[in-house]
Amino acid sequence: MSQNEIAIVGGGLGGISAAVYLKLAGFDVCLFEKNERVGGRANRLERDGFIFDTGPSLLNYPWVFQDFFAAAGKRLEDYVELLPVDPALIFRWPDRKELILSSDVTRLRESLYRLEPECDAGLMAFLRDAHIKYKLAFEKLVSKNVTSPLDWLVALTPREMSYVTVWRSLYSELGRFFRSRYIKEALGAYAMYLGGSPFELPGFFSILSYGELAYGLWLPKRGIYGLVEGMERLANELGVVIRTQTPVVAIETSQGRVRGLRLADGSREQFPIVLSNVDVPYTDTFLLNGDKNFPKLQKRAKRMKMTPGVCTFYWGLKTPLHNLAHHTIFLPDNYKKTFDELMHEGKIPSDIPFYVSVPSATDRSLAPLGGACVFVLIPTPRLSQLGDVDWSVIRQDLRQRVLKRLEEEHYAIDPDSIVVEEFFSVEEWHRRYGLYDGSAFGAAHTLFQVGPFRAGNQSAQIKGLYYTGASTTPGTGLPMVVLSGKLTAERVVANVR
Ligand SMILES: Cc1cc2nc3c(=O)[nH]c(=O)nc-3n(C[C@H](O)[C@H](O)[C@H](O)COP(=O)(O)OP(=O)(O)OC[C@H]3O[C@@H](n4cnc5c(N)ncnc54)[C@H](O)[C@@H]3O)c2cc1C
């Protein structure tokens, strides 16, 4: 076994990113992926001429991907064609109120005026404030490896510290700039994907909506998976070895250090360094030689606060959908109650919020001529909160509720026009990609699970073991996990070289 060899378990975007950065640093990298193709949650389903992305559909912060290709001396546009999506998002409420989020400021203002006629000063102040926070986040906080809260403290001047709003919730932070409940609810809805309610998540996360306003939202040609293909191509060109359909059943350790991997076919492969791209609590619970050896890691996994689960539908329509934009989020009447049911009571909300994406509105090649692809995402509690449920009953119930709300808002989808239907339950998400407790986005971004408090990318217990991906630093989402791969690679290089 050469000291230069590194194994990566899992071919999510975090895993591919780490593989490329490590290969560029001169390591021999072998990536083991259990499924037939890489991409993880960002995967592809093809049915009867319809092409669906399984998970992510909103691509933001394109500069992160440009930097990724530039690290290898390449240009993003030679690997991936990005199509702009504008408006980025439309939010709708049952009383027919609507908010259109666009990076075209004139369009954005017009939409906000309809909800809060005197919001001009608030909007400008919000954009200024979020811009400063965004720059702080990427220049000083999330793009560097940190080990202790002190690292963050010394990185910031007292004035900069005042922008790191962690003592105020996202919802009340938005209330500093806007009075309209609709604007606060829309800009606060991002909290759902970070695993918290906007009434609890730190106000600093107002940067999320700002990121989309400032840098736009994009769809790679041939869907989000077009980006995965571009990143995989670069990894192949550099000589990363990618072994798909190769599940790892254990990361083997002895005397407190990594020794290699045990594969599902019973074979063993030795490696001095292993990076797990499988979600941190899943790695700690199921891939590390069982509970006896690492009780601290088991405890950490149990204590970790996780984001909700999701159920997703993939509909291939034989008719076009003219009036539904690329991304629409349908919010409920009683926003607070919905978050309470989802986050605290562990119930599928009585009035479900859901998100509909029609990527074929931007890239016609994703559906056969005259048809449309529809993706529906419904946040739900996690597996342990739901208990023993009948997924076929839940599927029918959610399907009916989504179609009813669409019909009420004049976006009717005729059930007879659905010629292809796939459904991923929380259980299915868990089974396919090793999502701990069915949590769709990994560890939540609560105050004590961000920055230096989040699970670190280097194991303190096991020498030679590293983590990359959504549940470690800096966090969840496609750009974040690509940054995570870079940070983990930098950590390895700093330790080994
Ligand atoms: C439904 C949904 C919608 C989302 N929407 C968005 C969005 O619009 N925008 C956005 O930016 N983000 C979105 N996200 C979040 C985003 O998808 C994730 O943060 C990101 O893809 C996670 O990447 P990762 O590197 O952590 O790895 P993962 O994608 O979790 O990949 C881990 C890989 O490990 C493999 N694996 C697991 N166990 C083993 C094993 N034992 N042996 C070998 N391989 C194994 C899995 O098959 C998988 O390929 C969404 C997520 C979901 C679920």
- The 10s digit of each residue's pLDDT in 229-245 is 999 999 999 999 999 99
Which residues form the pocket of ligand 1, taking CB atoms under 6 Å from any ligand atom? 9-15, 32-35, 40-42, 55-58, 247-248, 277-279, 310, 312, 377, 433-434, 440-441, 469-470, 476-478, 481
Model confidence band, residue 190 (pLDDT cutoffs 50, 70, 90): confident
Q: What confidence tier does 160 reach under pLDDT thresholds 50, 70, 90? A: confident
- Nearest-atom number in ligand 1 for the CA of 10 is 34
253-307 pLDDT, tens digit per residue, is 998 899 999 999 999 999 999 999 999 999 999 999 654 668 888 888 999 999 9
C-alpha 470 – ligand 1 centre gap (Å) = 7
What tens digit of pLDDT does each residue of 459-472 get?
Answer: 999 999 999 999 99
Closest approach atom of ligand 1 to CA 478: 11
Under 8 Å between Cβ of 309 and 382: yes
Distance 440 CA to ligand 1 centre (A): 8
> Average of pLDDT values for 355-381?
96
Predicted pLDDT at 2? 76
The CA 159 to ligand 1 mean position distance, Å, reads 36
Could you identify the atom of ligand 1 that is nearest to the CA of residue 440? 53
Please report the pLDDT score of residue 193 as a whole number: 76
Protein residue closest via CA to atom 25 of ligand 1: 14
Mean model confidence pLDDT for the chain? 93
Task: Give the pLDDT confidence score for residue 290 in this predicted structure.
Answer: 54
User: Given this model, what pLDDT does residue 212 score?
Assistant: 86
pLDDT at 368 exceeding the cut of 60: yes
User: What pLDDT is attached to residue 79?
Assistant: 98
CA 68 to chain centre: 18
pLDDT at position 293: 67
Over 80: is that where the pLDDT of 195 sits? no
pLDDT in the model for residue 292: 62
**Closest residue by Cα to residue 219 from 366, 106, 91, 75:** 366
Domain boundaries, the chain: 5-41+221-304+444-496, 101-215
Q: What is the three-class DSSP state of 132?
A: helix
Per the CATH hierarchy, to which homologous superfamily does domain 5-41+221-304+444-496 belong? Answer: FAD/NAD(P)-binding domain (3.50.50.60)
Q: Percent of the chain, pLDDT > 70?
A: 99
At 289 the pLDDT is 67
Instruction: Report residue 139's pLDDT band, with 50, 70 and 90 as the boundaries.
Output: confident
CA of 193 to the centre of ligand 1 (A): 13
* Residue closest to 376 by CA, chosen among 344, 409, 352, 346: 352
Q: Whose CA is nearest to atom 14 of ligand 1?
A: 56
Distance of CA 104 to the CA centre of its chain: 25
Q: Report strand pairing: 309-317 vs 372-380.
A: antiparallel
Quote the CA–CA distance of 172 and 181 in Å, as a whole number. 11
Q: Residue 165: what pLDDT?
A: 73
Testing ligand 1's pocket by substitution, the residue of 13, 41, 249, 329 carrying the most ligand atoms inside 8 A of its CB is: 41
**pLDDT of residue 408 exceeding 90:** yes
